[in-house]
Amino acid sequence: METFEKARIAAATRTLERRWCVSPEIFERERERIFARSWCFAARAEQLAEPGDYVLAEVAGESLIVTRAGGGKIRAFFNVCRHRGTRLCTAVAGHFAGSIQCPYHAWTYDLDGALLAARNMSEVPGFERADFPLREAATAVADGFVFVNISGNAQTFDAEMGTLFTRFSPWNVGSLRVAREIVYDLACNWKLVFQNYSECYHCPPVHPQLERLSPSDSGRNDLRAGPILGGYSELRYDDTSLTTSGKTSRPPLAGLTDKDLRRSYYYTVFPSMLLSLQPDYVMVHDVRPVAVDRTRIVCTWLFDSATIAAPGFDPSDTVDFWDVTNRQDWRVSELTQAGIASRVYEPGPYANEEGLLAAFDRHYLSMMDG
């Protein structure tokens, strides 16, 4: 039974205070209390198709090597040699030919992190290679998304995030493939990106092309508390697609119900992912805080592999539509950052349509106080 409801706000609920978006000290605290403790999006499993394939991911200021080990398991190692701490890897993606070698003194590790060779160390009294594996972060794979947790005592991924990824099996997201990617650099705090994504109060003045295809007052939410928030908005017409023309010749994803074919689903996955599920594709925003007033976003569009392989496949109508929408969002988020930085800024009242923002604030503050 569906539990979707219109957004609503409790009386006198206000926005966060200025310091939460402008203080470098708070940004450093966020790294430790949120990003160092949470499951963070790191990669798509398809980027790690073969043993030795790797990508670098940054979480809470730590560089991680996310790779597929020899037995096929995806693992994440801190990018730190156990000898003198040298950064093992600098290329953002690549392939290891069976081992990971430090560029300084050539200590060499296998793809499971075990130390294979340490030059001239056999003569050192008490030295045992088994005592010096690469430090490892926890990993989990859900619907083809690779998540990492560097805390060392992580709650299981299913306990924290399973709510979302079990409910979207009809989209079969794990089988979808990346068709396009755009990287954006924003002059705003990462929380403003999450908050902007969580309401369509701003859609009529900011996104006229989106409003024509999906009415802003049609939004309904089913996840209204905790680390995952969101719901759906309706498409205005049965044959609507969120593209530059409002239509598409691409087939819908197999397994969706008639109801799903008339909706766009939007969820925030705290603290690193924005997930949008459409009738014929899935869009993902990987949100990466850089500084208190800087955020990098990697936006990826996923399509069915058979659709990608079809003659003449071109996702530009979808990508161009969302690139315009993204840039509209980034502009108002940057304007918000500039205004919050003013000495006269004080928290303002949320509208009913901003109910998920208040829920985000509550979860965020509970993490920061924990």
Domain match, 189 and 260 both: yes
Domain match, 307 and 366 both: yes
pLDDT value, residue 86: 98
Domain match, 231 and 288 both: yes
Q: What is the pLDDT of residues 177-202, one digit of tens each?
A: 999 999 999 999 999 999 999 999 99
Q: Report if residue 28 sits inside a domain.
A: no
- pLDDT of residue 338 exceeding 80, the answer is yes
Q: Which of 115, 146, 162 is the last residue of a domain?
A: 162
Give residue 333's identity as a one-letter amino acid code.
S
The mean pLDDT of 110-118, rounded to a whole number, is 98
Percent of the chain exceeding pLDDT 70 equals: 99
Structural domain for 337, as ranges: 1-17+167-370
Domain match, 219 and 351 both: yes
Q: Report if residue 67 sits inside a domain.
A: yes
CA angle in degrees (0–180, nearest 5) for 177-303-283? 95
Distance, in Å, from the CA atom of 310 to the CA atom of 210, rounded to the nearest integer, reads 27
Domain match, 267 and 186 both: yes
Domain match, 180 and 314 both: yes
Q: Report if residue 233 sits inside a domain.
A: yes
Phi, psi (rounded to 5 degrees) for 325: -60, -45
Q: Report if residue 32 sits inside a domain.
A: no
- pLDDT of residue 1 exceeding 60, the answer is no
Distance, in Å, from the CA atom of 152 to the CA atom of 59, rounded to the nearest integer, reads 13
Q: What is the pLDDT of residues 240-276, one digit of tens each?
A: 999 999 999 999 999 999 999 999 999 999 999 999 9
CA angle in degrees (0–180, nearest 5) for 181-275-21? 90
3 state SS of 23: coil
Q: Report if residue 363 sits inside a domain.
A: yes
What sign has the CA pseudo-torsion 85, 86, 88, 89?
Answer: positive
Distance, in Å, from the CA atom of 29 to the CA atom of 314, rounded to the nearest integer, reads 43
Q: Which of 162, 195, 210 is the last residue of a domain?
A: 162
Question: Measured between alpha carbons, how far is residue 176 from residues 51, 162, 173, 242, 277 in Å?
Answer: 20, 19, 5, 18, 12
Q: What is the pLDDT of residues 31-49, one digit of tens each?
A: 999 999 999 999 999 999 9
Q: Report if residue 27 sits inside a domain.
A: no
**Rg of the chain over CA atoms, in angstroms?**
22
CATH of the domain at 125: 2.102.10.10
CATH of the domain at 350: 3.90.380.10
The mean pLDDT of 302-312, rounded to a whole number, is 97
Total domain count, the chain:
2
Domain match, 186 and 119 both: no
Q: Which residues fall within 8 angstroms of residue 131, CB to CB, at 6 or more apart?
A: none
Q: What is the distance between the terminal CA atoms of the chain, rounded to a whole angstrom? A: 34
Return contacts of 312-320, CB within 8 angstroms, 24+ apart.
313/179, 313/250, 315/179, 315/180, 315/281, 317/243, 317/244, 317/245, 317/248, 318/241, 318/242, 318/243, 318/248, 318/281, 319/180, 319/182, 320/244
Q: Report if residue 22 sits inside a domain.
A: no
Q: Report if residue 142 sits inside a domain.
A: yes
pLDDT value, residue 85: 98
Place of tokens 């500084």: 291
Domain match, 151 and 124 both: yes
Domain match, 141 and 49 both: yes
